[in-house]
Structure 1
């Protein structure tokens, strides 16, 4: 099969690889029809993780079931399915609690597994023609009859839409509240969308990319251009000096200031200033236990200089971590099916798998107009 393989920093290549296949009776084999490039993939692409050479990338996957293991009962050949990026077993203590992102069995010695991701187990990614899905009955979301018609919407259930929704859950967003989202990338845009789904009265989205801010406005959010700094002041001015009720961090450890310099603590500390006293903050941007490629000593150890004094004094609370996709994907699927949300509106490029290396290069440069890239292995 063709697959996108990580060779090393900023070096990915479409190669012929051994076909994915059923390995255990609980597996499902999927022919990938759509797979996305995620902002998280860029951390690996840039060599900022411990990703091993020779691995197949891709954790946002959707396709058609072409084979099932002998123990698979629910999922059938011919089903169109979307795969949560996190792989769960369905029977460990965390999976039973709905915390599928922190499965205790699929990645021994750690909590949580994922397709094609550094530190998340040995599982191959789906930027390929075929994908093996462990524990298929648990991990496959079988899609409605309009799966082909709305394929570019449903594939967003693999990660970014549930992750954006998770940010609002972690922050505690309730109807009528105001929300500030840092980051107008795909996850930030989905967090803004989710805030509106939950009944937010106002949503502010802070970024420095004008093309992405235009999409935030299209969703109905107030775009805050932080190109010259001053984003915090703008939010305080728009909220009577109090700050937003809730805040979402959707950037992560490679956030940059207006000069393009990485400042890992920037969005976290800006959220403390931008959110009102006693407000909630949800963090879904990626922060890693170590970042050897970082510029400063703290960041190399996965640490940031957090404004804990102001955070404590304001009585705020923070919840964080990767999304447990299965906790949300079924309900969000129903919203797409009913036409209540259309996450595909953020797609900027739809490309063949063979075009993936060039797409990584452009997306990795954060080039204008590159918001969300989807790949079609059969194209």
Structure 2
């Protein structure tokens, strides 16, 4: 049987009857709804794969959300650029306090404060055992890989809510040993659920090391996290490219060089910075809604970033691609783009012997190490990405502000537990 007791952070001693959450209604529309309080069984609902309905989750925990963030990946759905169904509860960046534990949970207890990787992993399949937790074989009946509150990811309910169910909790949850210390750094630690490991993964897979020169395409939160990750790995120069002047200013605030791609191909501006028109490592933190460079910057051209990176990365170099690409895009610029089929200059990539790494970041491969870097003041990721706490009710307005290009990472604080 599951157990519920009082919670150290919340002081609550009873199970709530409801649960408020942020839901996608349709293109450009989100709202805060009242949904069911989670139980240890996956129930039918928007986006839930029929094969997952009724799935028992005795290995799970129920969290009271302390922080849950708005992600650029959520924005793709909210813009109507995926096949997400109406009323899908959003949110895959989850940090919270355990208020209930399932009967099969062994190593976690009520009151623990934990970070939850956005990708759900069973810990039992071949891929999980090989640390490829982004492509777990057992949590999504449609394809390898799953996530909370995301289209085609199995239907696990999202975490932009007051409470959320986390399956396979012993494997998935990263516990913070000192809760007081963690709450002091919660705006940094909340980034461990996704964007900090994702950006860091982009830098690692791009081969960044001591003395590297790096170009990061995109100055949104993941791009900025990739830049911070590249610095942490010892890069000599990190260059960030974007169209948004305010986001480029944020990149400069922690020591990055910048490129305004509205002024043309990054190659010429990179040469002005480095003396040569190429870098050792390229990172795509833009994804499938990329726009052209120079005079074409107002026009969507989904292969622009990938083709540009192949051109400016040195022969024998590598591209890390944390930016999201999808297999179904109703708003694609042509029929091919609507299927995720892009016109890549693969001949250049082949001729230059470039390496490519795509797909979900395996968060558990990195999150403990990055936690230690945060706790021991080696990095200030919250400051770099502009972490901005908001209430649950402010989430719809924050989605609109983020979509307009605000240089911020919005952190939803459903229970008013974060110091402002």
TM-score (norm 2): 0.87
Which of the residues 108, 112, 116 maps onto 2:141? Answer: 108
Which of the residues 130, 154, 163 maps onto 2:189? Answer: 154
Q: 1:349: how far off?
A: 3.0
Q: 1:343: how far off?
A: 1.0
- In structure 2, stretches of 5+ residues that fail to align are 1-18, 42-56
Deviations 1:1-25 (A, max 9, x none): 1111112221211011111123322
Do the aligned residues in 1 keep the contact of 2:250 with 2:407 (CA within 8 Å)? no
C-alpha distance in structure 1 between counterparts of 2:40 and 2:359, whole Å: 31
Do the aligned residues in 1 keep the contact of 2:187 with 2:387 (CA within 8 Å)? no
C-alpha distance in structure 2 between counterparts of 1:16 and 1:122, whole Å: 18
What is aligned with 2:287? 252
What is aligned with 2:15? none
Do the aligned residues in 1 keep the contact of 2:268 with 2:277 (CA within 8 Å)? no
Query: Would you say 1:82 and 2:111 are equivalent positions?
Result: no
Q: 1:320: how far off?
A: 1.3
Query: Would you say 1:170 and 2:170 are equivalent positions?
Result: no
What is aligned with 2:32? 14
What is aligned with 2:343? 305
Do the aligned residues in 2 keep the contact of 1:290 with 1:301 (CA within 8 Å)? yes
Equivalences, count: 377
Aligned to 1:7, the other structure's residue is in SS state strand
Q: 1:177: how far off?
A: 1.2
Which of the residues 27, 38, 43 maps onto 2:71? Answer: 38
What is aligned with 1:199? 234
Aligned to 2:67, the other structure's residue is in SS state strand
Q: 1:331: how far off?
A: 0.6
Q: 1:348: how far off?
A: 5.0
What is aligned with 2:391? 352
Query: Would you say 1:375 and 2:412 are equivalent positions?
Result: yes
Which of the residues 317, 329, 338 maps onto 2:367? Answer: 329
Do the aligned residues in 2 keep the contact of 1:347 with 1:374 (CA within 8 Å)? no
Do the aligned residues in 2 keep the contact of 1:29 with 1:68 (CA within 8 Å)? yes
What is aligned with 1:315? 353
Aligned-pair Cα RMSD in Å:
1.3
Deviations 1:94-142 (A, max 9, x none): 0000011100001123101100000111100011000000011011110
What is aligned with 1:235? 270
C-alpha distance in structure 2 between counterparts of 1:348 and 1:189, whole Å: 12
C-alpha distance in structure 2 between counterparts of 1:348 and 1:91, whole Å: 35
Which of the residues 178, 186, 189 maps onto 2:224? Answer: 189
What is aligned with 2:3? none
C-alpha distance in structure 1 between counterparts of 2:139 and 2:265, whole Å: 45
C-alpha distance in structure 1 between counterparts of 2:407 and 2:392, whole Å: 17
Q: 1:239: how far off?
A: 3.3
Q: 1:242: how far off?
A: 4.9
